[in-house]
Amino acid sequence: MVDVFISYSRRNLEFVHKLDTALSACGKASWFDQKKDPLEGLLPGSKWWDEIKHGIESADNFLLIISPESIASPYCNAEIAHAIQHEKRLLTVLYCGNRREADNLKAVDAAIDAIPEESELPTTVSATINNLRSLTRRNWLEISRVQYVKFFDDGLFDRALEQLVEALDMDLAWLRTWSQVRQTARIWAETKDDSYLWSEMRLKPVREMVEKRKQPLTEVEREFIRPEAEHLLTELDNIDTSHTRRSIIGERLCVIGDPRRGVGLRSDGLPDIAWCYVDVPEHLRGKPIEFIGSRKAKEEKYGEFEVKPFFIAKYPITYMQFQAFLDDPDGFERDEWWEGLMENYHKYRMAEQRMKFPNHPRDSVSWFHAIAFCRWLHAKLPMEALPEPPATQSESREQLDKIPNVSQWGIRLPTEWEWQYAATGGQPSNEYPWGLEWDSGQHCNTEESGLGRTIAAGMYPRGASPVGALDMSGNVWEWCLTEYADPTNTGIAGNMSRALRGGCWDWEQEDAHCRSRYGFTSDSMYVFVGFRVVCAPSLKI
């Protein structure tokens, strides 16, 4: 691109030639109309104006040579208006000739006032305002905000040229933007008022320029220009963040892009699952553990079950992730995923999602749908996408090697005992995933929140279970693999009631504790029911 487009009056052509030669010697390429014939009389429709507009649009900077003649020129004013319309960076030179600076500025004002009130732009040029005096005054208000470089017909030409070249090299637009960033960041830090934070659309180009220019940052500036999503996610840790605000944050993340792993899709379009490792101490492996369930505060022992180490999804399956199953040509419509389930069940119409936000839990999904999704995901995910058991301080690598190879595990629904073990972290005394005491305000979305609907998955980080899984209380009930009446049954035949765990947005506190269980028939689809998956030793289903 050309460095600078020069707009000038023919009365100043000799000075413009001198300036152009000097700029060229400094390595700056300029463009200006060098015709010496007066412009009056050009036929309407001449290509001259198209060339002028192209020259302005192609240049990095627009330089106006300010003089009484140029400020009153209809052609210069059309050029200025076009440069402003295309948001070109404006630079100005006040050409004084042999006059004093003050006298030259008075002459500029007088030239504007002398423009006849009825004067119109020539038909050879165009602008949004055709009245020349009105357009000139508006242009002058805009360009007078720019600090001009003064040139006189004396021996100080080189000094003024140096100032002009420095201005060309300096990105004033960036300096203004960065000044705004610095001052706003200081106000934000002083007031602790997040309303001063800029939107992601405004911050992204700032971060790009910071990176490009290697801009040094203070800690406050670095924090201020962090991606908006990071600020929003930090806000979730604040105990004073309301249920309504958490809902708004989740929806805002949908707009700007939710960066959290585990709520969206991988680069290959498959669900991106964030796995939480559920460890089982060595002394409990291979031994049955007693589990107690409850419904409406009525507790009952429902058996002893062996729990082996496994992985559970950090979040319930989201709307975006389930939609990948529906959209895949080898997904929902493929008969293989429905074998052994209710005949032709996948030919039935799926219920509509109530809250169609990508990062919200998939609701209105039946147990049959969840089984088919798990089969599809297990078949589709590449081996490297499956989790690896981490080495811990409590066990050696040799002990970990005793855990069945993950390649022999399956992606499936959790059994009730797996779900409950993950929710409590293996601590039977934990009434809720976060511990003993109830607190819906900081920990989960149940009827007590007053929202009356789901919100984005994972909006309550303080409600995480000991293994790191979120939303194991509230938001949506979650399907388990097991039969409700007989938890030992993990088979898929029949349309009996299947167990659900965790409570939901529409049910109250007592349904959200770790032992609470409920059951619906396998084909049931409700707006408060979803599911999450595990990667665990395969079961015969």
CA gap 533, 262 in Å, rounded: 12
Q: Is 538 helix (H, G, I), strand (E, B) or coil?
A: coil
Residue 41 reports pLDDT greater than 50: no
The closest alpha carbon to 382, from 268, 478, 233, 460, belongs to 268
Residue 91: phi and psi, rounded to 5, are: -130, 150
Tell me which residue has tokens 């002058």: 140
Torsion of CA 22, 26, 32, 35, to 10 degrees: 40
Is residue 471 within 8 Å of residue 463, measured between CB atoms? yes
Q: How far apart are CA 347 and CA 333, in angstroms?
A: 8
CA atoms within 13 A on the CB side of 87: 1
Residue 419, both tokens: 């779900």
Bigger pLDDT: 174 or 110? 110
Percent of all residues in the chain with a pLDDT value above 70, rounded to a whole number: 92
| Enclosing H/E stretch for 364 | none
Confidence class for position 540, pLDDT limits 50, 70, 90: low
Instruction: Quote the pLDDT of residue 38.
Output: 40
Contact 296, 508 (CB under 8 A): no
What residues does 323 pair with on adjacent strands?
none
pLDDT digits (tens, 9 = 90+) for 147-171: 899 998 876 888 999 999 988 887 7
Q: Which two tokens stand for residue 258?
A: 């939710």
Q: What is the arithmetic mean of pLDDT over 26-45?
A: 63
Give the pLDDT mean for 474-498.
93
pLDDT given at position 37: 42
For residue 186, give both structure tokens. 């200081």
Q: Does residue 43 surpass a pLDDT of 70?
A: no
Q: Give pLDDT tens digits for 196-207.
A: 989 888 999 999
Of 432, 453, 450, 433, whose CA–CA distance to 441 is shortest? 450
- C-alpha to C-alpha distance for 420 and 422, rounded to whole angstroms: 5
Amino acid (1-letter code) at residue 410: G
> In 10 A of CB 249, how many CB atoms?
19
d(CA 371, CA 339): 10
DSSP 506: T
Confidence class for position 470, pLDDT limits 50, 70, 90: very high
Mean predicted lDDT score pLDDT of the chain: 88
Rounded Cα distance between 529 and 318, Å, is 12
Q: Which long-range contacts (CB under 8 A, 24 or more apart) does 520-523 make?
A: 520/367, 521/495, 521/496, 521/497, 522/341, 522/342, 522/366, 522/367, 522/368, 522/494, 522/495, 522/496, 522/497, 522/498, 523/342, 523/345, 523/366, 523/367, 523/368, 523/495
What are the tens digits of pLDDT across the range 285-343?
A: 778 888 877 776 567 777 888 888 999 999 999 999 999 999 999 999 999 999 999 88
Q: DSSP alpha helices (H): ranges in 313-434?
A: 319-327, 367-380, 397-401, 416-424
pLDDT number for residue 471:
98
Question: What is the maximum span of the chain, computed from C-alpha positions, in angstroms?
Answer: 103
Cβ neighbours, 10 Å, residue 376 = 22
Does 213 or 362 have the greater pLDDT score? 362
The least confident of 104-113, 166-175, 242-251, 368-377 is: 166-175
pLDDT for 228-265, tens place per residue? 999 999 999 999 999 999 999 999 999 999 999 999 99
> What phi and psi values does residue 7 have, to the nearest 5 degrees?
-105, 130
pLDDT at residue 430 is higher than 60: yes
Q: What pLDDT does residue 407 have? A: 53
Please, are residues 227 and 259 in contact by the beta-carbon 8 Å criterion? yes
1 — pLDDT class (breaks 50, 70, 90) = low
Q: How far apart are CA 425 and CA 309, in angstroms?
A: 12
Distance CA 478, CA 464 (A): 16
Pairing of strands 149-152, 310-313: unpaired
More confident residue, 229 or 390: 229
List residues bridging with 432 in a β-sheet.
435
128-142, 175-189, 336-350, 484-498: least confident range = 336-350
